[in-house]
Amino acid sequence: EVQLLESGGNLVQPGGSLRLSCAASGFTFSNYAMNWVRQAPGKGLEWVSGVSESGDTTYYADSVKGRFTISRDNSKNTLYLQMNSLRAEDTALYYCAKRGGPARGWLDPWGQGTLVIVSS
């Protein structure tokens, strides 16, 4: 069974940093691009960042570019999101999700999410 398990969410002050992790199992992690998607309380889904299968190509939403860094360790089957200079508007539930495959731009499955709260 394909599983994604996020961790690392916490309460952090504005301007602070946090690193999220997503542990993958049940599939060949290195064969799939991975993504982070967030959902602010009571709001819709917002794509945050994506990384290629090898990790050498990364993409970011304009709202997080220059502050967030996505990476992956294929030897550990783990996806990361380093979040710096956090703002109140970054408060959200952060999901990791597996991309369907090359030229397959759907996300399936998703993890259960990890909550990030940015507040003083």
Written as six digits, the tokens of 44 are: 């819709």
Residue 46 near other proteins by CB under 8 A: yes
What residues from 77 to 116 belong to the interface with other proteins (CB under 8 A)? 95, 100, 103-113
86/99 with CB nearer other proteins: 99
Q: Are strands 68-73 and 78-83 parallel, antiparallel or unpaired?
A: antiparallel
Distance separating alpha carbons of residues 80 and 3, to the nearest angstrom: 16
Residue 66 near other proteins by CB under 8 A: no
Return residues touching other proteins (CB under 8 A): 35, 37, 44-47, 50, 59, 61, 95, 100, 103-113
